[in-house]
Amino acid sequence: MNEIGLKNSMMKIKDESDLPQHITYNEYQSLLNEIMNNPYSHFLNKKMIPFLKARDMLMLKCMWELGGRISDILNIEINDIDFKNKIIVLKVKKRGGFINRIPVSDNLLLDISNFMRAYPEVNGRFFKMDRETAWKKVKGYGDKIGLKLHPHMFRHGLAIYLLMKGVPIQIIARRLGHKNAMTTLHYYVVITPEIEREALKGILL
């Protein structure tokens, strides 16, 4: 096991009560199903419904996979998608602003490609809504499946999901745009005396 993998194996996810509010992978899947099956009967313009469903599902998929803050997700533009290198550029506003180039799955790229083909009139930003509107949308979908939900719970949910899958903390920190892994450790991981003792066995103890 390499050094990063070894360090990651010595870490323990915080107890549920100590973790920030987050959405689980299964809850995320339930949200996608809710959007897919929701009749959107409150919309008078029925022709808009397929577009709204596709847009909202794509937004949630980007929120989950990219782990970005909602304002950064809403700023994604067509030119930020690098299909060749399988990367999406997030223009992060926090900490004075910086660019985070995030590797993404083939599935997400396919969803984006299909969306662009189906709605060629979309240009510039994919999600033309403000932060408050996005919060209301996410909250509304959460209400439909019995969750008290807000967008930042996707960011926390992704971090916890990746930790549970054994992804090194340094990789998770980079994806979240944290300046260093210590920030990620503070939010999601606890190192107990037992874990510390095991790590130092044969070295110091």
What is residue 100's predicted lDDT score, i.e. its pLDDT?
92
Cβ count near 89 (within 10 Å): 16
What is residue 10's predicted lDDT score, i.e. its pLDDT?
56
What is residue 152's predicted lDDT score, i.e. its pLDDT?
94
Residues in the chain with pLDDT < 50? Answer: 1-6
What is the distance between the alpha carbons of residues 137 and 139, in angstroms, rounded to a whole number? 5
What is the distance between the alpha carbons of residues 129 and 144, in angstroms, rounded to a whole number? 21
Q: What CA–CA distances, in Å, run from 143 to 41, 59, 152?
A: 17, 17, 16
What is the distance between the alpha carbons of residues 98 and 92, in angstroms, rounded to a whole number? 5
Write out pLDDT tens, residues 156-192. 999 888 888 888 888 989 999 888 887 887 778 766 6
The domain ranges of the chain are: 16-200
What is the distance between the alpha carbons of residues 93 and 76, in angstroms, rounded to a whole number? 12
Residues paired with 121 in a beta bridge: none
User: What's the pTM value of the predicted model, to 2 decimals?
Assistant: 0.84
Measuring CA to CA, which residue among 174, 162, 154 is closest to residue 59?
154
* Domain over 16-200 is classified CATH 1.10.443.10: yes
What is residue 6's predicted lDDT score, i.e. its pLDDT?
39
Write out pLDDT tens, residues 102-119. 999 999 999 999 999 999
What is the distance between the alpha carbons of residues 88 and 58, in angstroms, rounded to a whole number? 13
